[in-house]
C-alpha cells in the first residue's frame, strides 16, 4: 500500500513525512535535530522530559513534539523562545540531581544528556545541587545499576515492560519523596529478567549499563558485532540467534537452513566445531554458555531438502576454476563458485575427499558417512571431483586452461621434534598415524603409548591408541593444564577413558633399547616462551627429571603443508604466501585454509573457503556476492515475557557413550541432544539480536541542523 505523505515546515525548511507520524519524527527524518530524552523510536512517547517542546503556528503555548502528530501545512518553530526556556530549565533540573563529573564517566562521549547540554545550554541559574545518593549495585550479573546517574526518563522501565513484557524494573517512591527506579525483587534473577539488554540499550546516561568486563569486549567493534558477539565470534558469521530461535519454535529444518546459508557442512560442524561462538556467548556471565554446537547438530540431523530449491544457480560463465584439495576450505570454495556459474574441478591427492575432516579427525568423533553426505551435496551442484590426483605444480593448471586456481591443500605433514631418539622404531607422527587409521590400515603400536602435544590432534591420537587396544596411554605437553590448546571437553573425555595427562612437561630424550622405544625422559616445566623465530625457551624445575616407560611415542606437536618448491608458489615458513586477501604472488592463483594459516579448525577453513570464493568470483568478472537466503523469513518477537529463574537455567549436556564401552571401537560416542533437551537448551538463549532491532541513540552532532544550536 502506498504511504500517504504530508508536507509541513520546520524552522523554515519544507519537509515531508508519512501521515500519522509526530513532529519529532518529521524533524529527525529530515535532518533537523530536536533535543529529546524520554522519547525513543521504539517506545510509546510520553512527553515527560519537556526537552522536545516546539511552537506550532496558530496554537497557544508550546507542545511536546514527540506526542504531537504532524499535520499537513503545519508550521513549526523548534527555536521558539518559550520552548528554549523550558528546555534549559529541564536541563538545569536534571543536572541538579546528576553527578557533576563528565570526563570520568564510563558514558563520556556517548551520553545523550551530555550531548543535549552542549546544544541546549542552561539557564544560567545556580540551582542548589541535590545529588541522588544511591550506591552502585553491581551484585547482579551482566548488568550494573548506578542509579545516581538516573534522570528518571523512564526509558528502561518502558523498554522492559511495554517492549519486552518482562517488568523486572519499576518506579518506586523513596522515603524522601523522590521517585527512583528499582529492581522488582531482591535480584534481576528473582525479578524474571531475561538479560536481553534492552534497558542498557535505551538508557541515555549509563545509569544502567553492562559490567566492565562485558563492555570492554565491545570497544571498537561495529554495533551489530558488539551486540551479538556469538555471531561475530563465528569465523563464518553464522546467524546463531536466528537458528536457535527456529529451534525454540520446533522448526529444525529452518534452523539447519540458516547454518547452510554460511556453511555447506552443518552436520560436520555439529560434530566437531571448536565453537568459538560459545566463548563469546554473553550467558558466560550468568552461569554457562548456550550449547551452540550441540543445537546446530540437532538441527542438522533433522533437516529436510527444501533448502536445495533456494540455492543460487547462476548462468554458466564459461570460466574454469581448479581447486587443489578436497578439505573444508577447498570444498566450500567449490560449492560457492559452482553456484556462481563457474565450472569447478577439485583435485584431491587422497582416495576420498574430506581432507583433515576424514584423515585427521577419528571416526568416533566424525563419521565418514557424515562427510560423504555433505560432500555429495556439493558435487550435486556440478562440481567435478578427481581423487588420487596429486598436483605437483599449481601454475601448470593455468596453462591447462583453468582461469583461476585455489590451493587449499591443508596441513597433512606432521612434525617430529629434534629430540634424541626420534628415529627409533616405535616413533610415529600424528598425521600418518591418524591417516592410516582412517584408511583402515592402522599403524602397529604397543601397549604403552605416550603422545607428545597438548592440542586436540594430540588427544585424538591418544583416543585412537586407546581404541586400538593400548591399555597405558599418556599425553605430555609443555603447556599447563589450564592453557592447553585442546578443548576442555576433549580433555574430560580423554581422562574418562583413562588417558593420563602430564601438563607443563618437557621432553628431554626418547629412550631406547635394541633400536626400539623403551621410554621417555621428561622434566617439569617452570616456564616457557617462544622467540620470534618460533624457537622455544624453556625453564625447567630443578631435579624434576623422570622416565616414563613406553613402547610407542607419537609426535603430535603440529603439522605443516606437504609442499615442495616445485609446487610453484612462494612459501613462508613452509606455508603458502599470500599478499592481498587470498591472492598469491602468482597471478590467477589463490590460497587459503590451513595451507596459509597453519592448522586451525574446520570452521575457520570454511570461512577461508567463503572468502576465497568471493575473491575468485570478482577476479573472474563477477560481483563476489555469495550470500543466499535458504531459510524462511523469521519474525523476531520483541515481547519475550518474564521467565522466573531464567538466569540460572542449567546448561544441557549431550548424551555420551560410557567410556568403558566407547573405547572398544570407533562407533559414534557423542550422541548429541534429544528433542526435549534441544528445546530446553534453546530456551537459554538471551536473544541478543533483539537488541539490534532497537534504534541506536541519536546525538545532535549527527544532524545537519545540529551546528545551529551549538
CATH number assigned to the domain comprising residue 373 = 3.50.50.60
CATH number, domain at 200? 3.30.70.20
Q: Of 560, 577, 599, which one is at a domain's C-terminal end?
A: 560
Looking at the fold, whether 543 and 599 belong to one and the same domain comes out as: no
Total domain count for the chain? 5
Burial class (CB in 10 A: 0-12, 13-18, 19+), 159: buried
Domain ranges, residue 264: 223-306+650-683
pLDDT band at residue 187 using 50, 70 and 90 as cut-offs = very high
pLDDT digits (tens, 9 = 90+) for 512-525: 999 999 999 999 99
Q: Region 282-295: what's the mean pLDDT?
A: 97
pLDDT digits (tens, 9 = 90+) for 13-71: 999 999 999 999 999 999 999 999 999 999 999 989 999 999 999 999 999 999 999 99
Q: Region 373-391: what's the mean pLDDT?
A: 97
Contacts of 684 (CB under 8 A, 6+ apart): 283, 290, 649, 651, 652
| Residue 54 lies inside a defined structural domain of this protein | yes
Rounded distance between C-alpha atoms, residue 378 and residue 548, angstroms: 48
Contacts of 460 (CB under 8 A, 6+ apart): 360, 361, 362, 365, 434, 490
pLDDT of residue 530: 82
| Residue 346 lies inside a defined structural domain of this protein | yes
Looking at the fold, whether 428 and 551 belong to one and the same domain comes out as: yes
Looking at the fold, whether 350 and 374 belong to one and the same domain comes out as: yes
Given 3-state DSSP classes, what are the helix, strand and coil percentages for the chain, each rounded to the nearest 5?
35, 20, 50
Looking at the fold, whether 265 and 358 belong to one and the same domain comes out as: no
pLDDT of residue 644: 86
| Residue 103 lies inside a defined structural domain of this protein | no
| Residue 130 lies inside a defined structural domain of this protein | no
Looking at the fold, whether 184 and 290 belong to one and the same domain comes out as: no
pTM beyond 0.85: the answer is yes
pLDDT band at residue 708 using 50, 70 and 90 as cut-offs = very low
Measuring CA to CA, which residue among 29, 227, 39 is closest to residue 116? 39
pLDDT band at residue 121 using 50, 70 and 90 as cut-offs = confident
Rounded distance between C-alpha atoms, residue 542 and residue 533, angstroms: 27
Q: Is the pLDDT of residue 709 over 60?
A: no
pLDDT of residue 119: 85
**Alpha-carbon dihedral angle through residues 237, 238, 242, 244, given to the nearest 10 degrees:** -130
Please calculate the CA angle 541-543-548 and round it to the nearest 5 degrees: 95
Looking at the fold, whether 287 and 322 belong to one and the same domain comes out as: no
The enclosing H or E element of 618 equals: helix 602-619
CATH number, domain at 241? 1.10.1060.10
Looking at the fold, whether 423 and 510 belong to one and the same domain comes out as: yes
Q: Is the pLDDT of residue 576 over 50?
A: yes
CATH number, domain at 37? 3.10.20.740
| Residue 202 lies inside a defined structural domain of this protein | yes
| Residue 547 lies inside a defined structural domain of this protein | yes
- Tell me the angle at which helices 252-260 and 292-300 cross, rounded to the nearest 10 degrees: 110
pLDDT of residue 706: 44
Q: Is the pLDDT of residue 371 over 90?
A: yes
pLDDT of residue 707: 41
pLDDT digits (tens, 9 = 90+) for 609-647: 999 999 999 999 999 999 999 999 999 999 999 998 999
Looking at the fold, whether 290 and 329 belong to one and the same domain comes out as: no
Q: Which residue, chain included where needed, has cell 588427544?
A: 459
Looking at the fold, whether 435 and 554 belong to one and the same domain comes out as: yes
In the chain, what percentage of residues exceed pLDDT 70?
A: 97
pLDDT of residue 8: 96
Measuring CA to CA, which residue among 296, 405, 412 is closest to residue 357? 412
Looking at the fold, whether 366 and 243 belong to one and the same domain comes out as: no
| Residue 118 lies inside a defined structural domain of this protein | no
Q: Of 43, 74, 97, which one is at a domain's C-terminal end?
A: 97
**Across the chain, what does the average pLDDT equal?**
93
Instruction: State phi, psi for 563 to the nearest 5 degrees.
Output: -125, 150
C-alpha pair distances (Å), 205 with each of 40, 325, 411, 483: 14, 54, 51, 39
Looking at the fold, whether 289 and 332 belong to one and the same domain comes out as: no
Looking at the fold, whether 556 and 501 belong to one and the same domain comes out as: yes
Q: Of 76, 97, 118, which one is at a domain's C-terminal end?
A: 97
| Residue 709 lies inside a defined structural domain of this protein | no
pLDDT digits (tens, 9 = 90+) for 460-469: 999 999 999 9
Amino acid at each position: 500500500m502506498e504511504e500517504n505523505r504530508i508536507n509541513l515546515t520546520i524552522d523554515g525548511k519544507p519537509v515531508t513525512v508519512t501521515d500519522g507520524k509526530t513532529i519529532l519524527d518529521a524533524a529527525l527524518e529530515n535532518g533537523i535535530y530536536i533535543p529529546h530524552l524520554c522519547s525513543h523510536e521504539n517506545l510509546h512517547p510520553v512527553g515527560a522530559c519537556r526537552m522536545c517542546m516546539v511552537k506550532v503556528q496558530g496554537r497557544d503555548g508550546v507542545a511536546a513534539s514527540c506526542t504531537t502528530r504532524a499535520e499537513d501545512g503545519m508550521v513549526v518553530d523548534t527555536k521558539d523562545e518559550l520552548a528554549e526556556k523550558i528546555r534549559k530549565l529541564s536541563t538545569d533540573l536534571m543536572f541538579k540531581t546528576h553527578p557533576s563529573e563528565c570526563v570520568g564517566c564510563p558514558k563520556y562521549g556517548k551520553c545523550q544528556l551530555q550531548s543535549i547540554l552542549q546544544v541546549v545550554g542552561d539557564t544560567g541559574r545556580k540551582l542548589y545541587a541535590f545529588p541522588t545518593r544511591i550506591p552502585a549495585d553491581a551484585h547482579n550479573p551482566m548488568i550494573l545499576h548506578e542509579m545516581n546517574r538516573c534522570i528518571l526518563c523512564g526509558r528502561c522501565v518502558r523498554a522492559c515492560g511495554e517492549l519486552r513484557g518482562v517488568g523486572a524494573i519499576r518506579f518506586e517512591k523513596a522515603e524522601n519523596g523522590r521517585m527512583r527506579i528499582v529492581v522488582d525483587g531482591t535480584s534481576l534473577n528473582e525479578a524474571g529478567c531475561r538479560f536481553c539488554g534492552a534497558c542498557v540499550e535505551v538508557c541515555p546516561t549509563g545509569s544502567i549499563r553492562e559490567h566492565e568486563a562485558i563492555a570492554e569486549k565491545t570497544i571498537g567493534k561495529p554495533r551489530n558485532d558488539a551486540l551479538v558477539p556469538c555471531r561475530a565470534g563465528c569465523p563464518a558469521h553464522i546467524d546463531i540467534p536466528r537458528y536457535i530461535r527456529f529451534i525454540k519454535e520446533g522448526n529444525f529444518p529452518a534452523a539447519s537452513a540458516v547454518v547452510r546459508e554460511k556453511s555447506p557442512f552443518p552436520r560436520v560442524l555439529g560434530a566437531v566445531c571448536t565453537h568459538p561462538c560459545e566463548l563469546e556467548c554473553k550467558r558466560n556471565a550468568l552461569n554457562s554458555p548456550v550449547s551452540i554446537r550441540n543445537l546446530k547438530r540437532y538441527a542438522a540431523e533433522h533437516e529436510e531438502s527444501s533448502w536445495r530449491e533456494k540455492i543460487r544457480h547462476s548462468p554458466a560463465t564459461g570460466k574454469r576454476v581448479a581447486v587443489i584439495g578436497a578439505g573444508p576450505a577447498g570444498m566450500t570454495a567449490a560449492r560457492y563458485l559452482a553456484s556462481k556459474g563457474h565450472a569447478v574441478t577439485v583435485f584431491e591427492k587422497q582416495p576420498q575427499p574430506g581432507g583433515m575432516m576424514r584423515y585427521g579427525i577419528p571416526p568416533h568423533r566424525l563419521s565418514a558417512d557424515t562427510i560423504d553426505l555433505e560432500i555429495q551435496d556439493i558435487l550435486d551442484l556440478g562440481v567435478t571431483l578427481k581423487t588420487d590426483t596429486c598436483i605437483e605444480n599449481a601454475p601448470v593448471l593455468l596453462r591447462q586452461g583453468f582461469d583461476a586456481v585455489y590451493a587449499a591443500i591443508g596441513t597433512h605433514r606432521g612434525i617430529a621434534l629434534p629430540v634424541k631418539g626420534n628415529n627409533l622404531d616405535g616413533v610415529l607422527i600424528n598425521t600418518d598415524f591418524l591417516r592410516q587409521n582412517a584408511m583402515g590400515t592402522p599403524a602397529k603400536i604397543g601397549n604403552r603409548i605416550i603422545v607428545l602435544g597438548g592440542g586436540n590432534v594430540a588427544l585424538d591420537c591418544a583416543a585412537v591408541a586407546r581404541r586400538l587396544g593400548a591399555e597405558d596411554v599418556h599425553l605430555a605437553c609443555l603447556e599447563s593444564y589450564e592453557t592447553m590448546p585442546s578443548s576442555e571437553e576433549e580433555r574430560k573425555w580423554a581422562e574418562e577413558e583413562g588417558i593420563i595427562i602430564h601438563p607443563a612437561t618437557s621432553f628431554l630424550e626418547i629412550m631406547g633399547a635394541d633400536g626400539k622405544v623403551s621410554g621417555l625422559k621428561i622434566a617439569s616445566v617452570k616456564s616457557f616462551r617462544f622467540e620470534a623465530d618460533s624457537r622455544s625457551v624453556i625453564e625447567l624445575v630443578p631435579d624434576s627429571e623422570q622416565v616414563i616407560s613406553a613402547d610407542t611415542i607419537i609426535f603430535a606437536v603440529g603439522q605443516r603443508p606437504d609442499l615442495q618448491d616445485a609446487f610453484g608458489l612462494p612459501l613462508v615458513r613452509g606455508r603458502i604466501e599470500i599478499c592481498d586477501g587470498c591472492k598469491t604472488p602468482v597471478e590467477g592463483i589463490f590460497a587459503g585454509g590451513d595451507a596459509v594459516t597453519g592448522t586451525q579448525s574446520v570452521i575457520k577453513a570454511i570461512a577461508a573457503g567463503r572468502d576465497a570464493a568471493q575473491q575468485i568470483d570478482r577476479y573472474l568478472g563477477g560481483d563476489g556476492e555469495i550470500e543466499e537466503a535458504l531459510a524462511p523469513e523469521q519474525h523476531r518477537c520483541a515481547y519475550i515475557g518474564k521467565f522466573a529463574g531464567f538466569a540460572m537455567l542449567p546448561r544441557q549436556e549431550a548424551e555420551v557413550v560410557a567410556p568403558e564401552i566407547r573405547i572398544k571401537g570407533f562407533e559414534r560416542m557423542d550422541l548429541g541432544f534429544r528433542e526435549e533437551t534441544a528445546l530446553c537448551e534453546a530456551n537459554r538463549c538471551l536473544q541478543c539480536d533483539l537488541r539490534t532491532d532497537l534504534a541506536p541513540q541519536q546525538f545532535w552532532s549527527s544532524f545537519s541542523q545540529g551546528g545551529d544550536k551549538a
